Amino acid sequence: MTKTIISEQLTANHAAFIKHILSLNDVAFMTSDNGKWTPGQQMDHIFRSVSPINFAFSLPKILLRLFFGKANRPSKSYEDLVKKYHSKLENGGRATGRFVPKAVPLSQRELLKNKLSKTVEQLTRKIDRLTEAQLDELLLPHPLLGKLTLREMLYFTIYHVKHHSK
């Protein structure tokens, strides 16, 4: 995917996720099914996941290279990245630490929606500042998947919100 398509997919997938969560009535928003997170917690988790990526895309490229290194391989395809993620989940991988959402009261629904929408919008603007080559050269750490190129991290972000929409 080109960075234009990545930005479009990020925007579309997150907008669809938010629309779905906001369409739920109050009881559904607060209900946990089968021990899963509530829809509010799902939205909080997505926000907690996108925020550090948005922050990392704000850093000077030299700092990313200094802290995380430079890719020594080509970026995986979207499909291969999704397969890797599924493999990690099948082997027991789960969100930990700061990525685990706290309880989300009904009163926070609109605020959380606004924060997530704004963060995704900021991220898509930051993607425009990078070249296609930089997306494949610079790395970021992922807590479950290890070091990913910026392109792979964006692929993960595109898929991750779809995964949590289920």
pTM over 0.85: yes
Residue indicated by tokens 């000077």:
60
pLDDT attached to residue 166: 82
Pair of tokens at residue 142: 């992922």
pLDDT attached to residue 12: 98
Give the CATH H-level superfamily of domain 3-165.
Answer: dinb family like domain (1.20.120.450)
pLDDT attached to residue 34: 85
Digit-coded pLDDT (tens) for 80-119:
999 999 999 999 999 999 999 999 999 999 999 999 999 9
pLDDT attached to residue 33: 87
Main-chain phi, psi angles of 149, to 5 degrees: -70, 165
Main-chain phi, psi angles of 12, to 5 degrees: -65, -45
Domain boundaries, the chain: 3-165
pLDDT attached to residue 35: 85
Phi-psi label, residue 55: left if phi above 0, alpha if psi -120 to 50, beta otherwise: alpha
Beta carbons of 146 and 153 less than 8 angstroms apart: no
Strand, helix or coil at 28?
Answer: helix
Digit-coded pLDDT (tens) for 6-52:
999 999 999 999 999 999 999 999 999 888 999 999 999 999 999 99
Beta carbons of 145 and 89 less than 8 angstroms apart: no
What average pLDDT does the segment 74-78 reach? 98
